[in-house]
Structure 1
Amino acid sequence: MGHQKIRENKTCLNCNYVVENKFCPNCGQENTETRQSFHYLFTHFVEDLTHYDGSFWKTIKGLLFKPGHLTKTYLEGKRKKFVPPVKLYIFISFVTFLLPSLLPETSLLEFKEGKTEKTVTQEKNPEKEKKKEFSGIEVRDGIKIKSLKELDSLQNVLPEDEKFSYLEYGAYEKVFKVKKEETGKELLKKAFESAVHTLPKVLFLYMPVFAFFLWLMHDKKKWYYFDSGVFTLHYFSFLLLVIAIGMIFNWLMNLLPLLGIFSTFYDIVALFYVFFYFFRAHSNFFGEDKAISRLKGFVLFFINMFLISIFSVALFAYSLWCVK
């Protein structure tokens, strides 16, 4: 970024120090014109994220293939050649959040259906695909309803102390929407897309919990909570990166029906690698005896996977509830 016009005024706009060259010797700010073209703003943004000097790609390479290396190097003070942990997480989560919009077929629901299955479904005889008759939902003893209209009518005639609560009414409303074939598919699709969009936020909110359990399992005199926090940032960045790569890979594979099977293959390999990566990163970073490291790793992994599963179920339920 050496093409900005230098200001004729030699007074630094940031600290009022006299600037003889391009950079202020007092605060380090560039003494360039404050108004720039859109091209400059865009390229500056990209450079700030990806570091054209190669640090971005070194960081991504280390994150994917050297478990625990980035965290160890960062805490040793060798930080210049790598992207800072917080900045790395924000950038990868931003990309993961944006991908479903850029690649419409990358929703989790469409991944699992695949083009092959869609093609087969389209070739079926429509006359043979008769929808099963919906018998209704029993909402009170002996009272069944089959539609939202009946639900509203019943709600209006019920005594005040027997009316459906907000949660009850909302749950029945969602069931009736799912029972409608097209609406149900759209509802589920929107819920999955909402879950994918919210996943980076959920992981971000869960990170302090993950770091706490990590800190709790190790020597408090040797390891600070900050150290566990940096490890967690790198591991969660790795998780989101695997998800982002999976979205792109599955989208490419689903373009051709015969290649759809590779999407499942990637999911299996990615799941195994995520499991393996955690144990290797944990061992490399904390440097404990292998047996102790693996034992702690198993305890930490399954505690956090259990809690993350609960978070995920809650996320999906919330996404389904909020879909209009």
Structure 2
Amino acid sequence: MSHGHERKEKNCLNCNARVFGRYCHVCGQENIEPKESAFGLITHFFNDITHFEGKFITSLRYILFRPGFLAKEYERGRRASYMNPVRMYVFTSAFFFIVFFSLFKVPDEDVAMSYNKLEERLKNSNANFNVNFVTGNITVDKVVVGNIKQMEKVNDRLIDSIANAAAKKDTASTAVADSTEESGSTLFNFGKRYTTVGQYDSVQQTLPAAERDGWLGTQLNRKVIYVNNKYSKSPGLAYARIFDVFLHKLPTILFISLPLFALILSLLYIRRRQYNYVNHAIFSIYYYIFCFLTLLIYFGTDKLSELTHWRIFSWLEIILFLSFYVYLYKAMRHYYLQGRAKTILKYMFLNFVFLFVIIFLFAGFFIFSALNI
């Protein structure tokens, strides 16, 4: 309740319904004077913060230490005392990825060598070009030169400065000959290889309509030619760019995987008619929240392990890793209320099927990332 003065009028300013008491029974708005003092605004702010914090801490305690409890409470209709699961998922996932991208991001810093010297090193085919796919840190001849985004600019300058004589060959006959060449550095080596998009289009025009690539095949081949040409002198950079794009797709992958996880649960418990898809989705949301929270603890433990080199943190990391599987089993037991044998069988099937779902999603998004560098 706020400290504002209650209005004498008994009509709701929000929905115009008649108000009985301090709150509107239709929309829930408090029937107070619309003019608010600075003190009232500050008080309202702190009330909202403490209200949010109280529900969050209460929900957090149950999520971490009582698997399946909040999902069961939601099913029973006991929801006012806890934070809304969807809102909590949005908050924890946003916080998780803020921390995740902060930990695995190389800060923008001055490049260790000038762009001119770097270009000369990249032109040299003997240069030792290495990429750390986790941090994005790039080294040339064991010298740190910057991060992926900085290197992208260097690569663009390099490509512009190197004349590609093969790109001028634009006839169908030359295209067929060049498509089988093995010289030069390429990233994607499948099917026939073409030097330019023009060569590929020329070959397609010479083929009968039934033998030409479809729309999808055409787009894929053109993109492959573009990527091979752009990164022919710096394939390591291309792989780094792919992983960089893929890394930023992780929130989307997890968001898509959640309803699929719930779908598998709904199929496993299809005979338990008291549970509908929403019940399985709420269960899945709470499990994902637990995973986000556990991973945050894991990241903190990993950093402490790097700083102190204490073996105890390595053991804690193993325990945290195993907790994902133990927690899921406990949550299924407490929520679906089935015996150990049935729960173990369904638990194993769930993990087996979901593993293929994750592999499929990762493969699909990895290909998408490769075609969008």
TM above 0.5: yes
Check if 1:203 corresponds to 2:254: yes
Alignment deviations for residues 4-59 of structure 1 (CA, whole Å, 9 cap, x no partner): 57667664212324658653355421234657799998997897687346221111
CA RMSD of aligned residues (A): 4.5
**Structure 1: distance between partners of 2:42 and 2:221:** 49
In 2, are the aligned partners of 1:195 and 1:315 still within 8 Å (CA)? yes
In structure 2, the residue matched to 1:234 is 286
Check if 1:319 corresponds to 2:358: no
**Structure 2: distance between partners of 1:264 and 1:71:** 32
**Structure 2: distance between partners of 1:39 and 1:320:** 54
In structure 1, the residue matched to 2:219 is 166
- Alignment gaps of 5+ in structure 2: 107-130, 145-176, 188-192, 206-216
In structure 2, the residue matched to 1:180 is 234
**Structure 2: distance between partners of 1:105 and 1:204:** 20
Cα 1:209–1:85, aligned 2, differ >3 Å: closer, same or farther?
same
In structure 2, the residue matched to 1:273 is 323
In structure 2, the residue matched to 1:79 is 79
Check if 1:56 corresponds to 2:98: no
State the aligned residue count. Answer: 298
Cα 1:270–1:318, aligned 2, differ >3 Å: closer, same or farther?
farther
Cα 1:187–1:179, aligned 2, differ >3 Å: closer, same or farther?
farther
Alignment deviations for residues 196-224 of structure 1 (CA, whole Å, 9 cap, x no partner): 3xx2x333333332222212222233433
Considering fraction of residues, name the structure with more helix: 1
In structure 1, the residue matched to 2:126 is none
In structure 2, the residue matched to 1:127 is none
**Structure 1: distance between partners of 2:240 and 2:87:** 35
In structure 1, the residue matched to 2:344 is 294
Q: Which amino acid aligns with 1:269?
A: I
In 1, are the aligned partners of 2:105 and 2:135 still within 8 Å (CA)? no
In structure 1, the residue matched to 2:245 is 191
Instruction: Using the TM superposition, give the Cα deviation of residue 74 of structure 1 relative to its aligned residue in structure 2, in angstroms.
Output: 1.8
Alignment of 1:15-164 (within 5 A): 15-17=15-17, 22-24=22-24, 27-32=27-32, 51-52=51-52, 54-100=54-100, 103=102, 105=104, 140-146=179-185, 154-157=196-199, 160-162=202-204
**Structure 2: distance between partners of 1:45 and 1:193:** 36
In 2, are the aligned partners of 1:96 and 1:244 still within 8 Å (CA)? yes
1:213 alignment partner, one of 240, 247, 264? 264
Instruction: Using the TM superposition, give the Cα deviation of residue 122 of structure 1 relative to its aligned residue in structure 2, in angstroms.
Output: 5.8
Instruction: Using the TM superposition, give the Cα deviation of residue 237 of structure 1 relative to its aligned residue in structure 2, in angstroms.
Output: 2.2
Secondary structure in 1 matching 2:80: coil
In 2, are the aligned partners of 1:195 and 1:316 still within 8 Å (CA)? no
Q: Which amino acid aligns with 2:289?
A: S
Instruction: Using the TM superposition, give the Cα deviation of residue 231 of structure 1 relative to its aligned residue in structure 2, in angstroms.
Output: 1.2
**Structure 2: distance between partners of 1:161 and 1:40:** 74
In 2, are the aligned partners of 1:100 and 1:193 still within 8 Å (CA)? no
Q: Which amino acid aligns with 1:28?
A: G
**Structure 1: distance between partners of 2:143 and 2:253:** 37
**Structure 1: distance between partners of 2:245 and 2:42:** 33
Q: Highest Rg: 1 or 2?
A: 2
In structure 1, the residue matched to 2:160 is none
Q: Which amino acid aligns with 1:91?
A: F
**Structure 2: distance between partners of 1:260 and 1:318:** 40
Instruction: Using the TM superposition, give the Cα deviation of residue 273 of structure 1 relative to its aligned residue in structure 2, in angstroms.
Output: 1.1
Q: Which moved more, 1:168-177 or 1:78-87?
A: 168-177
**Structure 1: distance between partners of 2:39 and 2:179:** 64
**Normalized against structure 1, the TM-score is what?**
0.71
**Structure 2: distance between partners of 1:62 and 1:42:** 31
**Structure 1: distance between partners of 2:24 and 2:221:** 64
- Alignment gaps of 5+ in structure 1: 124-137
**Structure 2: distance between partners of 1:160 and 1:320:** 25
Secondary structure in 1 matching 2:361: helix
Secondary structure in 1 matching 2:15: coil
Alignment deviations for residues 68-115 of structure 1 (CA, whole Å, 9 cap, x no partner): 1111122122222211222222222222343345x25358x9795699
Percent identity for Structure 1 against Structure 2: 25
**Normalized against structure 2, the TM-score is what?**
0.63
Q: Which amino acid aligns with 1:210?
A: F
In 1, are the aligned partners of 2:262 and 2:277 still within 8 Å (CA)? yes
